[in-house]
């Protein structure tokens, strides 16, 4: 099923020659990767990070700076992805080690503060980042063709999906879910939750950095907006609306949000109220947190599960209490 969709999407740009759609879908793929990485934290490990944008921005800046300073070739592009991921891994490791033993409130706040610090750093370090004005750069020759880039991003999305699915279904991933469900009990079973949380945050950070690198190349431009809270909020909305604790959910969420955003900002020309489209997402998001904490995919999956067992199986809504 998923394979068919992936193949259909791969053929799509050769059938249709709508440039807008190719770009829009590329954007959806990139944000799907980001949202999936966020779901590793929120959905599988049960930790709320408000600093995910810093890893995204790290990838975006590494790629942009290297493509501009060294040369716009494929080799540099691949190298820059690697460097960005390595940086993200190191930083998420240290931040995680220092902060993940704190309770959820503190962790959320601290990640917010640290990502704020990175934003300030990027704004002040003008010689490299050119602050809020940002800078343009040349993408590798190979990506001059939008369709080529589309295919590459789709391939990376599929690879990341497969990798993350193996990751969450591995024994390691099961421990992450156990940490989410009940940290004390996991500890008493002999697993060190801190160890697992840190690795989860490193994996999430690395994947977010990859998404950032692709994002920078897709725009051929980078400024401090890649480090702002908006990016974290996007990832959060996509994950919550699509469905936490499923990998398909964030992809669905990314598609819904990007598409709606596209249409609503089109409508804004006629109806100015739609310029504030984010309100609708905010309200939907709040309603989702209260009434559908499992999101679209999670809710559908639950319904299907109930129907197939035909029994009143006890509700397995995860209680993410952590006091």
24 binds other proteins (CB under 8 A): no
196-255: contacts with other proteins (CB under 8 A): 229, 233, 236, 240
Q: How far apart are CA 45 and CA 104, in angstroms?
A: 12
Q: Which helix H or strand E contains 136, and what residues bound it?
A: strand 135-136
Nearer to other proteins, 75 or 282 (CB): 282
- Token pair 């295919």 is found at 151
Helices (H), 100-182: 104-124, 126-129, 146-169, 171-181
90-109: contacts with other proteins (CB under 8 A): 98-99, 102-106, 108-109
126 binds other proteins (CB under 8 A): no
Instruction: Name the 3-class secondary structure at 123.
Output: helix
Nearer to other proteins, 88 or 95 (CB): 95
Q: Residues binding other proteins: what is the number (CB under 8 A)?
A: 43
Q: How far apart are CA 305 and CA 99, in angstroms?
A: 37
- Token pair 């010689």 is found at 127
| Minimum gap (Å) between residue 106 Cβ and other proteins | 6
Q: What is the CA radius of gyration of the chain?
A: 20
Nearer to other proteins, 73 or 228 (CB): 228
Contact range with other proteins by CB under 8 A, out of 18-26, 83-91, 207-215, 287-295: 287-295
Q: Which of 279, 304, 305, 316 binds other proteins (CB under 8 A)?
A: 279
Q: How far apart are CA 322 and CA 179, in angstroms?
A: 10
* Residues linked to residue 136 through DSSP beta bridges, in sequence order: 221
Q: How far apart are CA 173 and CA 306, in angstroms?
A: 24
Q: What are phi and psi of 103, to 5 degrees?
A: -70, 165
| Minimum gap (Å) between residue 177 Cβ and other proteins | 14
74 binds other proteins (CB under 8 A): no
| Minimum gap (Å) between residue 233 Cβ and other proteins | 6
- Token pair 């931040």 is found at 95
Binding site for other proteins (CB under 8 A): 46, 48, 50, 98-99, 102-106, 108-110, 112-114, 116-117, 120-121, 124, 229, 233, 236, 240, 273, 275-276, 278-279, 281-283, 285-286, 289-290, 293, 319-323
């Amino acid at each position: 099923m998923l394979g068919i969709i992936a193949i259909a999407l791969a053929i799509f740009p050769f059938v249709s020659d709508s440039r807008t759609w190719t770009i829009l879908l590329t954007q959806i793929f990139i944000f799907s990767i980001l949202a999936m990485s966020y779901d590793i934290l929120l959905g599988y490990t049960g930790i709320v990070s408000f600093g995910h944008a810093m890893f995204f921005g790290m990838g975006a800046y590494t790629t942009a700076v290297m493509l501009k300073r060294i040369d716009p070739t494929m080799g540099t592009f691949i190298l820059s992805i690697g460097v960005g991921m390595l940086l993200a891994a190191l930083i998420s490791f240290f931040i995680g080690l220092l902060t993940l033993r704190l309770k959820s409130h503190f962790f959320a706040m601290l990640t917010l503060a640290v990502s704020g610090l990175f934003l300030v750093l990027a704004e002040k370090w003008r010689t490299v980042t050119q602050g809020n004005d940002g800078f343009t750069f040349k993408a590798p020759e190979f990506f001059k063709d939008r369709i080529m880039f589309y295919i590459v991003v789709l391939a990376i999305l599929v690879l990341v999906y497969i990798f993350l699915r193996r990751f969450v279904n591995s024994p390691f991933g099961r421990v992450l879910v156990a940490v989410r469900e009940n940290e004390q009990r996991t500890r008493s079973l002999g697993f060190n939750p801190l160890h697992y949380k840190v690795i989860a945050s490193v994996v999430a950070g690395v994947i977010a950095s990859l998404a950032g690198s692709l994002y920078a190349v897709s725009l051929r431009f980078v400024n401090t907006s890649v480090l702002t809270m908006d990016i974290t909020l996007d990832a959060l909305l996509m994950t919550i609306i699509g469905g936490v604790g499923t990998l398909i959910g964030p992809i669905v969420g990314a598609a819904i949000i990007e598409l709606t955003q596209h249409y609503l900002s089109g409508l804004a020309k006629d109806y100015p109220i739609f310029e504030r489209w984010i309100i609708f997402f905010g309200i939907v998001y709040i309603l989702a947190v209260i009434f559908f904490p499992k999101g679209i995919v999670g809710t559908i999956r639950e319904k299907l599960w109930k129907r197939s067992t035909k029994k009143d199986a006890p509700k397995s809504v995860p209680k993410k209490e952590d006091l």
